[in-house]
Each structure stands twice: as C-alpha cells, then as structure tokens.
Amino acid sequence: MPQGCEQPIQKKGETMGFVESRGVRLYVEETGAGYPIVWLHEFAADYRTWEPQVRYFGRHYRCVTYNARGYPPSDVPDADADYSYERHLQDLVSVMDALAIEKAHVVGLSMGAYTGLQLALRRPDRISALVFASGGSGAPKNESEAFKTAIARGAERMLREGMGAGADNTLAGATRVQLRDKDPRGGEEFRRYMAEHSAKGSALNLKNFQAMRPSLFDLEAELAAVETPVLLAVGDEDDPVIEANLFLKRTLPRVGLWMAPKSGHGLNLEDPGDFNVQCDRFFAAVERGGWAPRAL
C-alpha cells in the first residue's frame, strides 16, 4: 500500500492495512490489479460481505473494500459528530487518497450507496461510475418521521439487547428473508458477521448517519446536474427503496435501472451471479463511452 496506510500486511494478491481519516483508523483490504473499484458496505454488513464481488472483479480490477467507522477492526469513535454522512464521505476520499486512487468506479449498497452518491455530488472528479444498490430507505417525505422513529428505537434496542439479537431481527425482516430463503448458509454467515459488529458503532451510525442525512428528494436540483454514469440496482421486494429509485431514475441524467425479481435488500448476496454480471456490463458500457444521457 502507498504512504498513508499503516501496518500493511501482504498475502497472495492481497494487501491489508489501516488508513487514517481525521484521526479515525479504517481497516482496508485491496485485491487485484487494474482500474480501481471501491466497494462501500451497507449498515448491516461489512467489508467481508463483498467477497462474491471481490472474487469475481478482483481478476481484472483493483478491488478496494474497507470497514466504515464504527465497524471493527476500524475505530469506533465515541462522539455523535463522528458519524455524520459528511464524515463517511471524507472517509471514502481519505481511503482513495491513501491508496493513490485519483478516480474509481464505486459500488455502494444502501448506506454505502448514499455515500457513493454524495461522492458523485461533491467530488465528481473522483468517480467514474456509480452502482447505487438498495439505496433510498426513509427518503420519501411521507416516511421521514416514521423512519427516524424506527431508527431511534433500533439504536436503543441494539445497545440494550446486543448485536446478536439485532442480527436475528434483521435477517427475519421483510426485506431480508429473501437471503435466508435463497441461501440458508449465506444467510447464517450474514447473521454471524452482523452479530460481531459493535453495538455502539452501529447505534451511533443509525442515529447520526441514517437518521440525519438529507433526503434524496431534497437534493433534486443537484441530482439533475450529476454527470456521473449511474446504475440503480434494486430488488422488487425491497419496498422501502423502490419509490426513491424511481425518483432517481427520473432525475439523474445518465442513469439506468436494474430491478431484480423476487429479491430484497441484500442484492449482492442474494443473487451474486446476476449482481456481478449487471455491474460488469455497466462498467464495460461506461468504459467504452456507451452510457449516454437519455435522449429525450
């Protein structure tokens, strides 16, 4: 790893270490060579849940995964202010800077999708393509207050009951049972990974990132000016995000929408083959200049 990364560890075709972002250490793994793809995990996941994608894309691309702040082995800061969506965006830039990545494709799922979209809005010079997967929870105006209430209750419950119970409840949710039913072994692995997360870090991310980020619907004018090619990826049973993705399809200039049938929130794990193929086709189209704005 280039300068800015602490404690680099080499394995075959892989490098691991820590990047510092405003005093917070972030655990980073890098696999493969070629054009960079940065993978941003969702709230209930971590860098390990990108394994089906890293195995596929690491053959031809330079894949970078990292754990967001609040997700060990990354640091778990104590202050609410350390978990804003702006801090998550700065973390992404810090990781790219430390790895000497000037520009990259970015794939984000849910919480990570929001961060990727913020990069396209605030630092379009650093992003060449964005896969916005399963993003948009709580964005519609009529859902805002109920979403914030649910977030607050979820944070309190995680602190009170621990991450094991939180993982059980998540996997049993209406947009997660698809993973459990399609791939019981994969669902159990997802549950085990989430159970290992920090309750404090998860609660602080819920309260300060998830609940406090601006609604996508409040960013309409800015989104309409985004020039970054975007692929929206959403499951047709992920009800809380479908409306937001239809809004983004109508608003973003260079955007396509892939809706996966009989699928929920964890698209990359439920049907990794389909997810990988859709991303691969998207990247190929972008790289050959074929992801143009809508004609009319």
- 200-243, pLDDT tens digit by residue? 999 999 999 988 899 999 999 999 999 999 999 999 999 999 99
The C-alpha angle 40, 41, 43, rounded to 5 degrees, equals 135
Cα R_g (the chain), whole angstroms: 18
Query: What does the alpha-carbon distance between residue 98 and residue 18 come to, in Å, rounded to a whole number?
Result: 10
Cβ contact 155:199 at 8 Å: no
The predicted structure's pLDDT at residue 148: 81
Contact 122, 89 (CB under 8 A): yes
- Identify the helix (H) or strand (E) that includes residue 37: strand 36-40
Tens digit of each residue's pLDDT (9 = 90 or more) over 99-125 = 999 999 999 999 999 999 999 999 999
pLDDT in tens, 79-103: 999 999 999 999 999 999 999 999 9
Please check the confidence at residue 9 and state whether its pLDDT lies above 50. no
Joined together, the tokens standing for residue 53 give 């994608």
Give 78's DSSP letter. S
pLDDT, residue 211, reads 87
89 vs 13: which has the higher pLDDT: 89
Q: What pLDDT is recorded for position 3? A: 42
**pTM recorded for the entire structure:** 0.93
Q: What is the mean pLDDT of the chain?
A: 93
Greater pLDDT, 15 or 296 = 15
CB 286 within 8 A of CB 104: no
Q: What percent of the chain lies above the pLDDT cut of 90?
A: 85
CATH fold label, 5-137+220-287 = Rossmann fold (3.40.50)
For residue 5, pLDDT over 70 is answered with no
Domain ranges (residues) in the chain? 5-137+220-287
The pair phi, psi for residue 189, each rounded to 5°, is -65, -45
Kind of pairing, strands 36-40 and 127-133? unpaired
